[in-house]
């Protein structure tokens, strides 16, 4: 599956369905620490990782912003920084260049202005005090962001519920499963709108009975 198809199909999914797809396949999912939250709710992030490391200094963020290509996401391993590494100017430039978004495992600032940008922008915290611009760190290397390993070029997918990182091969396998889960949930919701109970559309009684008896079982939709 090429990136254009991945982006097209992910744009119709959410992170919850994708995580359920990993669960259905019994595969581990690289879900970023939920403390890293979108500054602007309601936006979906889909792009390829452009990675960098830094600490209390955002000079490398500027270098990565210069070098990143359209459709890429800046993924910042802040190494525990407490000072702001991104602010209003960076998403403005990112949007001008056609980048997909910014993920900052550290503090940001200028949040009111960022919310006007309509660029997917995630950060761990907010601090009005900016970092320095005196040190150069690494770019386009494997980094740790939100507790997960991120390699350059990997897929970053996010919405209001959080962020997922995946290789092209991983996400290509998970997407069809997530799509089927989404279709089943849509059928459930449609039936519930008609007045049908959620409980009767699950194998709840049988599942609970097997669990009580010590047998293996799986809760499943019956639609």
Q: What is the pLDDT of residue 99?
A: 98
Q: What is the pLDDT of residues 126-169, one digit of tens each?
A: 999 999 999 999 999 999 999 999 999 999 999 999 999 999 99
Identify the DSSP state of 86: B
Burial class (CB in 10 A: 0-12, 13-18, 19+), 193: exposed
| Closest to 1 measured CA to CA, from 158, 182, 140, 155 | 155
Query: Confidence band (pLDDT; 50, 70, 90) for 84?
Result: very high
| Whether residue 222 has pLDDT greater than 90 | no
- Percentage, residues of the chain above pLDDT 90: 96
Q: CA torsion angle for 23, 24, 28, 34 (degrees, to 10)?
A: -30
Q: Within the chain, how many helices (H) and strands (E) appear?
A: 7, 10
Joined tokens for residue 182: 């989404």
Q: What is the pLDDT of residues 25-69, one digit of tens each?
A: 999 999 999 999 999 999 999 999 999 999 999 999 999 999 999
**Can you tell me whether residue 17 is helix, strand or coil?**
helix
| Whether residue 221 has pLDDT greater than 90 | no
Q: 132 pairs with which residues across the strands?
A: 57
Q: 144 pairs with which residues across the strands?
A: 149
Least confident of 60-64, 173-177, 181-185: 181-185
Query: Confidence band (pLDDT; 50, 70, 90) for 117?
Result: confident
**Averaged pLDDT for residues 203-207:** 93
The residue whose two tokens read 């396998």 is 173
Q: In what order do the strands lie in the sheet with 30-31?
A: 30-31, 162-166, 155-159, 45-53, 72-77, 101-108, 121-126, 37-38
The whole-angstrom separation of Cα 106 and Cα 76 is 8
Q: DSSP per residue over 18-61, as a string?
A: HHHHHHHTT---EE--TTSEESSTT--EEEEEEEEE-SSB-HHH
């Amino acid at each position: 599956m090429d990136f254009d198809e991945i982006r097209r199909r992910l744009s119709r999914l959410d992170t919850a369905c994708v995580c359920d797809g990993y669960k259905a396949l019994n595969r581990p999912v690289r879900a970023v620490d939920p403390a890293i939250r979108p500054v602007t709710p309601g936006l979906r992030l889909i792009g390829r990782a452009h990675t960098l490391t830094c600490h209390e200094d955002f000079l490398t963020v500027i270098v990565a912003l210069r070098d990143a290509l359209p459709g890429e996401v800046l993924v910042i391993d802040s190494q525990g920084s407490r000072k702001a590494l991104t602010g209003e100017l960076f998403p403005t430039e990112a949007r001008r260049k056609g980048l997909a978004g910014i993920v900052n495992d550290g503090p940001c600032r200028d949040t009111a202005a960022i919310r006007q940008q309509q660029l997917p922008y995630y950060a761990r915290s907010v601090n009005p005090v900016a970092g320095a611009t005196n040190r150069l760190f690494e770019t386009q290397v494997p980094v740790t962001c939100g507790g997960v390993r991120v390699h350059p070029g990997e897929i970053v997918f996010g919405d209001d519920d959080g962020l997922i990182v995946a290789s092209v091969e991983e996400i290509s396998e998970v997407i069809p499963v997530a799509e089927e889960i989404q279709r089943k949930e849509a059928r459930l919701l449609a039936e519930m709108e008609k007045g049908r109970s959620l409980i009767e559309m699950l194998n709840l009684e049988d599942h609970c009975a097997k669990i009580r008896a010590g047998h293996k079982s799986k809760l499943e939709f019956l639609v």
